Amino acid sequence: MSFRILLVPGVNPDRWLRVWAERLRDVPATLVHAEPADAVARLRAGEADVALVRLPVDRDGLAAIPLYEETTMVVVPKDHVVTVVEEVPVADLADETVIVPGDDLLGWTSAPGTAFTGGEVATTADAIELVAAGVGVVYLPQSVARLHQRRGLTVRAVPEAPTSSVALVWVDERYDELTEEFIGIVKGRKASSSRGRGATPEPAAKEKKKPRPAPKAKPTPGASGRTPLGAKATRRPRKR
């Protein structure tokens, strides 16, 4: 038995996998890699137990927890004028030729620049090739831009652009204790507060110690009319 986690490009679950390995040593986590366009269909088909994908997705029959937002980056040739700054204002990109691949991850319909008219660009990898050839620029989520970074290219942040949301999703009817365990891990729950299988068992209640009986008081000589053991008896004079 294993727990299958489906990933789209750029998503890195390493920190969560380390925690999983510590808590559930008998259930290995395996990764299933998928292209963004196929990710939800493969999850629904039962190829994975959960998926880490980019929103939006078709939520019919799915549950989702948004995890984090990624800054949008512009990928440009290394000698491009915007490389002199760390963050690029949207206004500075108005004159660019923008390449939007068929597997576009942003859906930024109002992106600055003029759309590329040189034909269909099927994938992000194809768009990167065109950027390297000096044809135009492409906008990508930060992790994806870094994934495609190479010699001859530079990436810069575009803080005014829409961000990209990464979420954990699963099929509602296939929810189980392992899914709950992974939810707890990505949410940062400690093992002691986990609700899933890897929860730390509560310690047994300690048995209360019975109070010791109070020590008996030592008899005072003469209090009972008897002479204590080891004491010398006092003779009373006889009456004549």
pLDDT in tens, 103-144: 999 999 999 999 999 999 999 999 999 999 999 999 999 999
69-87 average pLDDT score: 96
Residue 152 confidence class, pLDDT cut points 50, 70, 90? very high
Q: What is the pTM of this model?
A: 0.77
Rounded Cα distance, 78 and 198, in Å: 48
Backbone φ and ψ of 31, nearest 5°: -100, 140
pLDDT at 225 over 60: no
The ranges of the chain annotated as CATH 3.40.190.10 are: 3-69+165-193, 72-162
Q: How far is Cα 144 from Cα 111, in angstroms, rounded to an integer?
A: 18
CB distance 203 to 94 below 8 Å: no
- Which pLDDT value is given to residue 208? 56
Region 160-172 average pLDDT: 97
Question: How many residues can be counted in the chain?
Answer: 240
Q: What is the b/e burial string over 111-145, where b = at least 16 CB atoms within 10 angstroms of the residue's CB?
A: bbbeebeeeebeebeebbebbbeebbbbbbbbbbb
Which CATH architecture is the domain 3-69+165-193 placed in? 3-Layer(aba) Sandwich (3.40)
CATH architecture classification, 72-162 = 3-Layer(aba) Sandwich (3.40)
